[in-house]
Amino acid sequence: MPDVTTPGAAPPGRRTRWPLLLGLGFGIDFLDTLGIGSFATTTTALKLGKLVKDEDIPGTLNTGHALPTLLEAVLYITVIRVELVTLVSMLAAGAIGAWFGAGIVSRLPRRKIQLGMAVALLVTAVFITLRQLEVFPPGGEALALSGVALLIGVTANLVLGALATLGIGNYAPSMAVVSLLGMNPTAAFPIMMGSAALILPAAAVRFVRSGRYDKPTAIAMTLGGIPGVLVAAFIVKSLSLDAVRWLVVAVLLYTSVLMWLSARNEARAGGLNLATS
């Protein structure tokens, strides 16, 4: 008998675990709003809990996090007043990079990019830490870029937008770019969330049309994620500048380790040696 399951519907015989999924949505989007990211944590939770078929995970996390990510962008753009030209330029660069860069970066060695990014984030975390400990001059507090700094920022966001199509998150790298350019670290939040908000809904629409997602899980994660975003955004808004800088260091270190482990696992799966490949 042919499969007549409605696209996006849960597989027959599997009950949707609403309390668990609502809690996951809250927790994951809470962390996402702090800059931790949501894709790696969502993928891990869905796989370990066997909540969704593996082939439906990409569509489920894109559809489930689309609205919370839009809310994150609106909140941060409203609350953190990054200068308009800087904000629009960076967001446009990220969107253009994601749109036109997909075909280019898809041919690049993902594992080597992850390793390079892991090292770059680690170095940036050390640099910011030395600033915090006053070994180096303190970081900047600007909410605008101009001239060469703006050109560097736009170029960096263009590259990060393209790399996002490989599944390499842009949150921690965006934090690194903003900090190294001497901006207030809180400026990273509207830039990185705004970039994600331009990319994620478009991807979600494609998955909905194809039916390659788990609809009940996506709905539950959206409903749980929205209050998670609101709570976390209030916390970030209330943090001192010093506390935000330490938060950035924590995110950079976490993401650096995550990328290195991911690259190592891919190398092992392919029978490669990280030291020689």
What are the tens digits of pLDDT across the range 190-217? Answer: 999 998 888 788 778 888 888 888 999 9
pLDDT at 148: 96
**153 vs 265: which has the higher pLDDT:** 153
The amino acid present at 28, given as its one-letter code, is I
pLDDT at 277: 46
Q: CA-to-CA distance for 270 and 257, rounded, in angstroms?
A: 20
Token representation of residue 33: 């709003």
Mean pLDDT of the chain: 84
3-state helix, strand, coil in the chain (%, to 5): 75, 0, 25
Residue 55 has pLDDT above 50, yes or no: yes
Unique residue bearing structure tokens 């709570």 = 231
Maximum average pLDDT range among 47-56, 60-69, 221-230, 247-256:
221-230
Residue 4 has pLDDT above 50, yes or no: no
Residue 183: φ, ψ to 5°: -85, 165
- Domain spans, the chain: 18-269
pLDDT at 241: 80
Residue 34 has pLDDT above 50, yes or no: yes
State pTM to two decimals. Answer: 0.78
Token representation of residue 124: 């940036």
Query: Which band of pLDDT confidence, cut at 50, 70 and 90, is reported for residue 14?
Result: low
pLDDT at 214: 92
pLDDT at 276: 44
- DSSP notation for 94-158: HHHHHHHHHHHHTTS-HHHHHHHHHHHHHHHHHHHHHHHTTSSPPPP-BS---HHHHHHHHHHHH
